Amino acid sequence: MPTAVNSATYAAVPIGTVPTTLTINGETRTRAIEPWTTLLDLLREGEDLIGTKKGCDHGQCGACTVLVDGRRINSCLKLAVTLDGANITTIEGLGQPGDLHPLQSAFCDHDAFQCGYCTPGQICSAQGLINEGKARTRDEVRELMSGNLCRCGAYSNIVDAVLDVIGEKA
Amino acid sequence: MATAAKIGIGSAINRVDGVEKVTGTARYAAEHPVENLLYGYIVEAAIAKGRIVSIDEEAARAVPGVVEVITHLNRPHVAWTDHSYKDELKIPGSPFRPLYDDRIQFSQQPIALVVAETFEAARFAASLVEVAYEAEAHNTDFEVAVGDKYVPKKKRSGYMAPKNRGDAAQAFADAPLKVSGDYRLAPEHHNPMEMFASTVEWHCDGSITVWDKTQGSQGVHAYLASVFGFSRKKVRVLNPYVGGAFGSGLRPQHQVFLAVLAAKMLERSVRVTMTRQQMFSHAYRPQAVQSIALGAETTGKLTAIRNAATTSTSRYEDNMENVVTWGLMNYDCPNADAEYTVAQVDTPTSADMRAPGAATGMTLFEIAIDEMAYVAKVDPLEFRLVNYSPIDAMNGTPYTSKALREAFREGAEAFGWSERSAEPRSMRDGKELVGWGCATGMWDAQFSKTSASAKLTANGHLEVACATSDIGTGSYTVMTLVAAETLGLPPEQITAKLGDSDLPTAPVEGGSWGAASTGAAVQLACQAVGKKLLKTAGKIAGAPLGDAKMDDVLFEDGCIVLKDTPTVRVPFGDAMHAADLTEIEEEETAAPGFGDMWKGLHKSKNTHSAIFAEVKVDEELGVVRVTRIVDAVAAGRIINPKTARSQILGGVVMGMGMALHEETFPDHRLGRWMNHNFGEYHVPVHADIHDIQVIFVDEPDSEVTPLGVKGLGEIGIVGTAAAIANAIFHATGKRVRSLPITIDKILG
């Protein structure tokens, strides 16, 4: 994290902002960020990466889950300026229409969503879960995905989708 | 000629809007990019009742980036009659008007909107607004309010007054077996995952485009035109994606009012998003108390039903639900009476939440029915069959269809009900007590006048459009499948458009009427296109189809095909080319009464379900796990078994929340919901959900709606909490008559 602003590089930085370099979905960008801006608000309002959802802004629902250096976090609880140099993957970075990530395909095939609002968070969380390598059984997936709420109640289909992908990798 | 398997009504296809949702490209209300956008943040009342004495905005206005602080003192002109604020639901009373005057009617009432160049500046400045109040005495205690319960003079539209039969009081007094008691349901909040939000784009000609979280774009359109005096042409409301709503988006909510107010005042584009805490400042499922008395013969035959319920409403509107009618309709019993009243508390007006009325009244009634089965020493499923009514026992009318008996049979078989041991506390799995319970669910099969258009282009692409919504229900997919069925095109060649007030007229999406109504309208519009195609085919040299009428042809693989001579096929493109047409567009309206529906005119129209639940209860800790649910649903024709199953799963999961978790607690001293966040308002999570099996019982019904569709949005929740409560009794021997059944009630 930078402690001083290089005036030559950041001459245009408004007072009170902190220059922060983030790699988001493979693209490195340096932004002048106000210290109180969360990663979630930066992604949604600053970068137009609206696939990351705001469901509570309090770390209670998981809709804002993204991967930071491969680990799943609630982006609403992370101030963006603390992530200087970090590698961030959002749902947009996992796959795109026409080039879906296996989890995205599995979610479609298992109808693992209804309204779709918690879905990017569920998928990012599931990828984080797979990265952790802890979950193998249905009970483990249910337990370790419990930070991601789905009010439409698609839970059993979500677990089916995640197990499908874990099974392929195992 | 070999053809691929036809995809249409009954095909289990993936949701057609699925790719947008899993890739994060589906844009919800707060996600539409607009140039030079301002952000509004709501300031809420800290008291439950009284008036605003003063508002100190100085510190808020000093925050860099703040553009305006809007209150009742400086807001632009808005409509002043109650009539102007009435929405599609037309709840009797005086609708809430945000920032109208100094009156406070409920805690968390919006009293100011801070508008700034950034969300963060607006949020910070909102925390600096100082408000002085003159508080008045309030009451948020429903149990106290019930002392002043009353029957509203003006009834809410759709309210069905209960009809008494026989002499229930006498029959109950004479009954050899009796059950009576008060059954309760806590207030619940809808809590869709997407927070209420509106993005208003201000155009230089004074018109606005509004992306709103709503279940009805045209309802919001009419409301905004009426309240702000816009000409109808200058407002367009869009809701292509809605992140859940469950009834909370049936009425225009105050964030859309505030966003439009700010846009009009500042002539700028504005976005207002409620916080999760602010999501508790409007719609909620009313708190309820239901006094049920049942009398029966020693055989288990019901002789008396007495059913009286009271639900909460606000001081300013009479929100009414059909709570007490379900038990009277569903059970064969010669004597029955019922009464329904409301009681006022100082909260916002309660609102429709998934299966309003039935989720409360049928569920609580089904707990009482279970109690009576035990008193009569009759198996709870058998008890329901002993008292089965093939007709609507309250109205004395036949149903267009009622396959509840089949649902009981298929559900019981799948669940293994015959293996159940009758006595409570008689089944165990290690240190857990095991309980099996069942219940009946019931909802209305409704149909609402709806229009749709269909546009076929010469390249074989079909676009169907309707102003309905898809709140996760699968409307896009339903429209696509009905169009595929009607014109014989593959889904990939069909685009469904919805969620736009400019599209053909549709009501708010709710009440489970969406698929039946929108489906019928899409079918009519596609049929009209088909007729036009057949007519244009007549212009083809040699007239290959002769003078074939609609009954003589079918539409298959993009061709008009002679039924009698299937080798005679005219591609749509050829027919259109012959008439020099590049496109054919038709719009049609499906209104109640056409097709076979007239035969069902004087019949009752309902969906039914049989729910079976297994719970395991830790005897020492009182922790309940719902390990198995089988829900056998009789809901007419199923358009897409895949999304239909999901609808039921969702209803069942919310029913599990009703049974075990969901409860909003008011602090009566402050008159304020205490647990207004996801940390303390508990909804079911992954770990709570085990095995849920959904069965759709075959139930052909050409009279209920044109497609034979009854709707699925609500039926999954109705009775689910009763099946779980009944299973908990079977496991523990402890009868809990108030939902949710939290650990303290089991151990207490």
The residues of B annotated as belonging to the active site are 714
Residue of B nearest to A155 (CA): B686
Q: Please state the ipTM of this predicted complex.
A: 0.97
Contact check, Cβ <8 Å, A50/B24: yes
Q: Of all residues in chain A, what percent carry a pLDDT higher than 70?
A: 89
pLDDT category at A2 given cuts 50, 70, 90 is very low
Residue of A nearest to B690 (CA): A156
What does the pLDDT read at residue A15? 63
Smallest CA-to-CA distance from B683 within A152, A133, A11 is with A152
Distance from CA of A4 to the nearest CA of B (A): 24
What does the pLDDT read at residue B595? 76
Q: Which of A36, A90, A151 sits opposite B120 (nearest CB)?
A: A36
Which residues of B fall within a CB distance of 8 Å from A34? 118, 120
Q: Which of B119, B193, B353 to mutate to test the interface with A (most CBs of A within 10 A)?
A: B193
Rounded to whole angstroms, what are the CA distances from B144 to B186, B281, B316, B345? 14, 22, 18, 9
Looking at the predicted structure, is the pLDDT value of residue A6 above 70? no
What does the pLDDT read at residue B700? 96
**Which residues, 6+ apart, have CB-to-CB distance to B63 below 8 Å?**
B116, B121, B124, B125, B128
Distance from CA of B211 to the nearest CA of A (A): 15
Return the DSSP state at B287. P
Distance CA B670, CA B139 (A): 9
User: Do A2 and A19 contact (CB within 8 A), yes or no?
Assistant: yes
Q: How would you class B377 by CB atoms within 10 Å of its CB: exposed for 0-12, middle for 13-18, buried for 19 or more?
A: exposed
Q: Which residue has the higher pLDDT, A14 or A75?
A: A75
Contact check, Cβ <8 Å, A154/B691: no
Residues of chain A with CATH 1.10.150.120: 102-169
Return the DSSP state at B188. B
Q: How would you class B713 by CB atoms within 10 Å of its CB: exposed for 0-12, middle for 13-18, buried for 19 or more?
A: buried
DSSP structure string for B491-532: GGGEEEE-SBTTSSP---S-TT-HHHHHHHHHHHHHHHHHHH
Q: Which of B26, B242, B653 sits opposite A153 (nearest CB)?
A: B653
Torsion on CA atoms B362, B363, B369, B375, rounded to nearest 10: -160
Q: Extract the tokens encoding B511.
A: 């009440």
Contact check, Cβ <8 Å, A151/B652: no
Distance CA B67, CA B70 (A): 10
Contact check, Cβ <8 Å, B193/A104: no
Smallest CA-to-CA distance from B317 within B361, B352, B280 is with B352
Strands (E), B536-640: 553-556, 559-562, 569-571, 583-590, 606-618, 624-634
Strands (E), B458-500: 462-465, 494-497
Q: Extract the tokens encoding B31.
A: 């996600």
Q: Which of B21, B118, B677 sits opposite A113 (nearest CB)?
A: B21
* CB interface of A with B, residues 2-61, below 8 Å: 34, 36-37, 41, 44-45, 48-58, 60-61
pLDDT category at A8 given cuts 50, 70, 90 is very low
Q: What is the mean pLDDT of each run of 10 residues along chain B (748 residues)?
A: 74 98 98 97 98 98 97 97 95 98 98 97 97 98 98 96 98 98 98 98 98 98 98 97 98 98 98 98 98 98 98 98 98 98 98 98 98 98 98 98 98 98 97 97 96 96 98 97 97 98 96 93 98 95 92 96 95 95 97 82 96 97 97 98 98 98 98 97 98 98 95 97 98 98 95
Q: Is 3.10.20.30 the CATH number for A18-94?
A: yes
Residues of chain A with CATH 3.10.20.30: 18-94
Smallest CA-to-CA distance from B70 within B59, B57, B80, B81 is with B57
Provide the residue type at B584 as one letter.
Answer: I
Strands (E), B349-389: none
Distance CA B98, CA B276 (A): 19
Q: Which of A58, A120, A145 sits opposite B276 (nearest CB)?
A: A58
Distance from CA of B32 to the nearest CA of A (A): 9
Distance from CA of A137 to the nearest CA of B (A): 13
Q: Which of B30, B242, B678 sits opposite A115 (nearest CB)?
A: B242
Which residues of A fall within a CB distance of 8 Å from B240? none
What does the pLDDT read at residue B312? 98
* CB interface of A with B, residues 128-167, below 8 Å: 141-143, 145-159
Task: Give SS3 for A84.
Answer: coil
**Which residues, 6+ apart, have CB-to-CB distance to B13 below 8 Å?**
B7, B477, B481, B491, B640, B642
pLDDT category at A3 given cuts 50, 70, 90 is very low
Q: Which of A45, A79, A115, A127 to mutate to test the interface with B (most CBs of B within 10 A)?
A: A115
Cα-flanking dihedrals φ and ψ of residue B415, to 5°? -80, -30
Which residues of B fall within a CB distance of 8 Å from A153? 649-654, 684, 689
What residue ranges define each of the domains in chain B, with the CATH number in brackets? Answer: 18-25+447-596 (3.30.365.10), 32-137+193-244+249-281 (3.90.1170.50), 148-188+284-445+605-747 (3.30.365.10)
Which residues of A fall within a CB distance of 8 Å from B653? 153, 155
Q: Which of A41, A96, A159 sits opposite B686 (nearest CB)?
A: A159
User: Do B344 and B140 contact (CB within 8 A), yes or no?
Assistant: no
Which residues of B fall within a CB distance of 8 Å from A150? 193
Distance from CA of A5 to the nearest CA of B (A): 22
Distance CA A151, CA A149 (A): 6
CATH topology classification for A102-169:
DNA polymerase; domain 1 (1.10.150)
